[in-house]
Amino acid sequence: MDQYTEILTHMLQNHQAKIEVTFPGLSLSSKEIVEASALHALTRIQAILQDDSLKDEECFEKIEAIVHELEQIGLGCGSRHDFG
């Protein structure tokens, strides 16, 4: 599954939605929902990477935090992710 589909599927499965055939009052397209979610995740990831309070040996915690952010928007990190 591509990233766009993963994010959209996650958003639809984990957020209440009122679905109507004509989608009256829908203010955001699926593209806008995915783009907003991706931008928000990238902003949080950037903040994690810019956190200089962790020493180099604590970089594992930064990577784990990034993986967590990706999972929060429905992006899987592969079968090798068993950090936590």
Query: Which pLDDT score, from 0 to 100, does residue 23 have?
Result: 54
State the Cα–Cα distance between residues 71 and 75, nearest whole angstrom.
5
Per-residue pLDDT of the chain (84 residues; tens, 9 = 90+): 688 888 888 888 887 766 554 556 767 787 888 888 888 888 887 787 777 786 766 777 778 888 888 888 887 776 655 555
Q: For residue 11, which of 33, 26, 31, 40 has the smallest C-alpha distance?
A: 33
**Cα distance between the two ends of the chain:** 24
Query: Which pLDDT score, from 0 to 100, does residue 21 have?
Result: 44
Query: Which pLDDT score, from 0 to 100, does residue 58 have?
Result: 73
DSSP letter, residue 51: -
Please state whether the predicted TM-score (pTM) of the whole model is above 0.75: no
